[in-house]
Structure 1
Amino acid sequence: MIDLGYALSRRFPDPPQTDYRTADVQALRHDLFCGDVYIAEGEHELSTPWGWVPVLDFAWALCDITERLDQDPLGSRASRPQRAELDFTQSTEMLRFERRFGWVEITADWAPRLPPLSVNHGELRREARDFLHDLVADLVDMHDELAGNPVVWNLLARFPRV
């Protein structure tokens, strides 16, 4: 079972003057809600150790990646590997995703000695969307005005729960 999670950083708080209702894509994806994230499957975990990862951007990018990994018309029958990368813009580190058949191997540049995390693509897609919706709900609990942001509405509509 895949577990996705996050912890917001106390070292990198959002600017106090932030208007969450009108925050644009740039702010939502790169400037707000910094912390750390993890992907785990059983005992195996890949987690960021920096404290400055834009958590909403991670959830958004992960949903994008699961869709990109599903573009081959053969779907889970495709033997040709399908690849995607999630880069962390403030560093050179990346999460790398490679799908063969219905399985996705995830590796982290900052943890080269760890074996790849191997997860079912359908489960990763479902968990990524659930994570996005749960994260937004948590963020709205902290910042009520975020619920009125049209960028957030569009994001949740683009990636509904499965």
Structure 2
Amino acid sequence: MIDLGYSLSRRFPDPPQTDYRSAGTRELRHDLFCGDVYLADPARDRELSTAWGWVPVLDFAWALCDIVEQLDRDPRGSRSHHRHHAELDFTESTERLRFERRFGWVDVRADWQDAGDPPLTFGHRELRREARDFLQDLVADLTDLHHSLGENPVIWTLLARYPRV
């Protein structure tokens, strides 16, 4: 089981004059909706989380969906013994989440975790489903907070690109 979550920061609120209806991709991915995110394996009681308060939460969800697709480029899919790597860079720091897929499993490591800690390991299919659900749920939450966000064409395109599985 995978648990993905977020919290929005009170220290880094969106500018009050923001027009969410016309916000562009760069603004949506890097300037708005700052907070913290976590990726957890509740069955093993393990978690990778940020505690910085400035992580662009929508960008995290978007990038995670991109990474899951990138890890699936091998035509042999879960039968492939080759290792496939991807990284998620956190913009304002040198920290990264590192993903490695082999067969149908994805190991996730964070630069900030202890070197001896084992990675979080998830099935690729489950990670794809949970990443897309997280993105869809996050956008629904953000649209509840900022109704005009639901009228943004960038958001429409994003949700169409990564529908629930």
Render the CA deviation track for 1:127-151: whole Å, top value 9, x for unaligned.
0000000000000000000000000
- Distance in 1, matches of 2:52 and 2:106, equals 25
Q: Corresponding residue for 1:129?
A: 132
**Which blocks of at least 5 consecutive residues in structure 1 are unaligned?**
none
- Distance in 1, matches of 2:70 and 2:81, equals 16
2:29 is the counterpart of 1:36? no
Q: Corresponding residue for 1:151?
A: 154
2:152 is the counterpart of 1:142? no
Q: Corresponding residue for 1:11?
A: 11
Q: What are the equivalent positions in structure 2 for 1:4-153 lying under 5 Å apart?
A: 4-42=4-42, 43-113=45-115, 114-153=117-156
> Which AA in structure 1 matches 2:58?
L
- Distance in 2, matches of 1:20 and 1:112, equals 39
Deviation (angstroms), 1:10: 0.2
Q: What is the count of residue pairs matched by the alignment?
A: 162
Query: What secondary structure does 1:111 align onto?
Result: coil
- Distance in 2, matches of 1:25 and 1:110, equals 28
Deviation (angstroms), 1:120: 0.4
Question: Segments of 4+ in structure 1 off by > 2 A?
Answer: none
- Distance in 2, matches of 1:41 and 1:71, equals 25
- Distance in 2, matches of 1:156 and 1:120, equals 23
- What TM-score, normalized to structure 2? 0.97
